[in-house]
Amino acid sequence: MQMEFNVASLVEDVLQQQGKRLSDADNFASRRAQEASLKRYEAAGWLRKMVGVVLGKDLPAEPSEEDFRIGLRSGIILCTVLNKIQPASVPKVVEAPVDSVMIPDGAAPTAFQYFENVRNFLVAIQEMGIPTFEVSDLEQGGKSFRIVNCIVALKSYHEWKQCGSNGVWKFSGNAWPCNSVSKPHQGRRNSDMFLSFLSRNSSSAGNNDNVSPSLQKLVCELLSDKSAEKIPIIVESIISRVKEEFERRLERQTKMIGAAPHDESDSTSCMSSEIEAASNIRKTDGGAGKDFCNAASGNLPFKQQDFIDLQHRTVEELRKILNSTKQGMNVLQLKYQEDVDSLGEQVVRLASLASGYQKVLEENRKLYNQVQDLKGNIRVYCRVRPSLPGQSNGLNILDEVVDNSLTIQTSGKHGKGKKTFSFSKAFGPNSTQEEVFADTQPLIRSVLDGYNVCIFAYGQTGSGKTYTMTGPKELTKESLGVNYRALSDLFEISEERKDTIAYSISVQMMEIYNEQVRDLLVTDGGNKRLEIRNNSSNGINVPNANLVNVASTSDVIDLMNLGHKNRAVGSTSMNDRSSRSHSCLTVHVQGKDLTSGTTLRGCMHLVDLAGSERCDKTDAVGDRLKEAQHINRSLSALGDVIAALAQKNGHVPYRNSKLTQLLQDSLGGQAKTLMFVHISPEYEALGETLSTLKFAERVSTVELGAAKSNKDTSAPDVKELKEQIATLRAALARKEGAAVYMGIPTSSVSVSFPSHSYKTEVTKHQFYTNFVLFF
Ligand code: ADP
Ligand code: MG
């Protein structure tokens, strides 16, 4: 449309200019030739001044038209002058000697080179907005006035630039002398020329700024040398050809649009909205929309309609895909919901399983402790220490240690013979600390399950109590005693259970000296008396004693070192380190079940008792004697308590000593008691050894006796023993008769008993009245 408008205005221009020319032509014709010459001289003069001699040839000062053309046809002068005015306007000027006069037509390379220069010049000039000329104007028959006009304009431009480029440069020279020179037509048909121009510019047809002036120029050119009568005919012809051309182009454009759908990638997006709009129109209610649609589609070219249909189908397909995707999403959502539901169910199931597991765990704990109960709530282990270098005189009373019994060889006033004693377990002189502790381990687990445990070391001074409970002076990993190992196990098991139960472990260390309870964990050396409060709600019987939290065995070692330093140690003739006090390391364990939130509390007493030797064995007097009496009394009280528990008496005399008061919670009932009974292998200690073994046996009956059932099974034993007594009496009578006869004192008679089971032994010893019980 724009194109058509331009053509219309162009024709209008032509007609206007034509009218002008017709009226002025006669008046100025003669003067124009003269003016043209003057102008040419001006141009030549300026070029000479600007360029000087070019390629050995000077442009004449007043050249003829011919000379002027020839001088400039190489384009070198033109390009040189242009580059001077506006540097690098023609970047490459071909300077090969060109002498068109000498070179015949058709000399291809030179003609081409000169053409290049001129063309470059013309392009640059055109860009600058200076009137141009045709390349053919430099040839004979061309229009030299256009060349002159161009150079004069260039000169004007140059002057304007030299004056500082003020304002906008506008060529103020004469208009093209379209009507000045009448030359014969060169033989080309006007309309053909015009059409060829149109085709040349078809690619830039949309650029109207370029098209209009060129068209104007072309029409002007075509009509310039025509006579007035011919012009209307020419114009008419131009118009008809223009019309034809535009119709042709319109058709071509329509075809191109029809072909466009094939390039879907580019056109789809913009077309789809149009299609959408078109389909909306189709869908609108009422006939108006439909009519419009029909009318529109009716008017649309066939291919465009096809394209719209195709796009419509594509949109429909896309809609279908969207719908199926939506359905897919719904299915997925349902599936997801189902998964979440089933996961929820699984979690609930797992939770119930977990609580079931907790119950089983709880049950397991109970069963475990029941097993421990069945093993006996009071266990007595006997340990014989090895002979110490330099102490033994070679006589060793130990005869045999077999699993849970030990046999000693008696002699002298104790009677010559072998005596066998049974225990929960017996450890010989070669047993290691580890072996001794192995059977203690199950009790540690019980403490963490909330049971109270009491571990004693009983025996005369020097029999190895401290060695068992703590270890030798120089501790090594192997020689660590029960205390360290028990605590180490506590930490280990509590760590194993940390996911289900959070434990806190704290310790107290006390001693009972002369029936006074003293704190061994004081750091200021203070010696305040401590009260024992049984049945305290938190299970801590001595609330005023230091209670220290421990997290590792090294913490415990540090504390025990402090305790040992604080421990009152008396010196006796038997053992410089002999402890005349009971020392008690109490471990309090509190556990919180992380699932149920319930708390449990267990406590373990690790007691290194004072020496059990009888007073008359030491040469103690004064304070030492007092110490010994207190010790004997408290050990008697311990025996009484245990005996009362054994006989299941209603009254258990816990209050008879500080020791039994302190350990009350851990003796009897649900508590588990373990006693390490220590004996020395030396002959000198035999009396104390037998006394110790008696105590141990008395303690053992508490549980091992399993009284009622044993009573039932004791009937045959009693019978057997009665028979033995009868035999013994007879033998005694015989011996006494013989002794009287031979003069030997009766006290030296030794009696040998056959080896019996534990129960038999106990019964047997009840009859063995030669032993004086210590308590
Ligand atoms: P108590 O504490 O009963 O008075 P100790 O534990 O102090 O007796 O032991 C007395 C001595 O015997 C110490 O030198 C100790 O190292 C040593 N001893 C005790 N039992 C053993 C043992 N099983 N193995 C080696 N040496 C031991
Ligand atoms: Mg000791």
Encode pLDDT of 730-771 as tens digits.
Answer: 776 666 555 443 433 333 323 233 333 323 232 223 322 222
Going by CA atoms, what residue is nearest to atom 12 of ligand 1?
A: 464
Residue type, 20: K
Which of 39-43, 256-260, 422-426, 439-443 is least confident?
256-260
Give me the sign of the Cα torsion angle 540, 546, 547, 552.
negative
Predicted pLDDT of residue 463? 93
Q: Chain centroid to CA 697: how far?
A: 64
534 within 8 A of 541, measured Cβ to Cβ: yes
14 Cα: distance to centroid of ligand 1 (angstroms): 139
Give pLDDT tens digits for 123-144.
998 888 888 888 888 888 778 8
Mean pLDDT of the region 675-679: 93
Which among 391, 467, 581 is the best mutation to test ligand 1's pocket, defined by most ligand atoms within 8 Å of the CB?
Answer: 467
pLDDT at 692: 92
Beta carbons of 447 and 589 less than 8 angstroms apart: yes
Give the span between the Cα atoms of 694 and 684, in whole angstroms: 17
Provide long-range contacts, Cβ within 8 A and 24+ apart, for 88-93. 89/124, 89/128, 90/117, 90/120, 90/121, 90/124, 92/120, 93/117, 93/120
Burial (Cβ within 10 Å: 0-12, 13-18, ≥19) of residue 149: buried
| 582 phi/psi in degrees, rounded to 5 | -90, 130
* Mutate which of 383, 385, 469, 511 for ligand 1 pocket (most atoms within 8 A of beta carbon): 385
Helix pair 686-704, 623-646: axis angle to 10 deg = 30
pLDDT per residue as tens digits for the range 560-614? 888 887 774 444 444 443 468 899 999 999 999 888 888 899 999 999 999 888 7
In sequence order, what are the beta bridge partners of 589?
505, 602
Separation of alpha carbons 57 and 77, rounded Å: 10
- Give, for 443, the enclosing helix (H) or strand (E): helix 441-448
Segment among 370-374, 408-412, 591-595 with least mean pLDDT: 370-374
Q: What is the DSSP string of 393-414?
A: -S-B-EEEEETTEEEEEE-GGG
Nearest to 608 by CA among 502, 717, 735, 461: 461
Q: What is the pTM of this model?
A: 0.50
End-to-end CA distance of the chain: give it in Å, rounded: 136
Closest CA to 603 of 375, 372, 448, 374: 448
C-alpha 309 to ligand 2 mean position (Å): 109
Q: 645 CA distance to ligand 2 centroid (A)?
A: 27
* DSSP conformational letter for 591: E
Q: With 90 as the cut, is the pLDDT of residue 331 above it?
A: yes
Residue from 31, 128, 37, 27 nearest 78 by CA:
128
Q: What are the distances in angstroms from CA 308 to CA 101, 129, 279, 289, 759?
A: 66, 47, 9, 17, 113
What is the reported pLDDT for 284?
47
Minimum-distance ligand 1 atom for the alpha carbon of 578 = 4
> 678 C-alpha to center of ligand 1: Å?
10
The CA distance from 421 to 693, in Å, is: 8
Digit-coded pLDDT (tens) for 61-118: 888 888 888 888 888 888 889 998 888 888 888 876 544 444 444 444 567 777 888 8
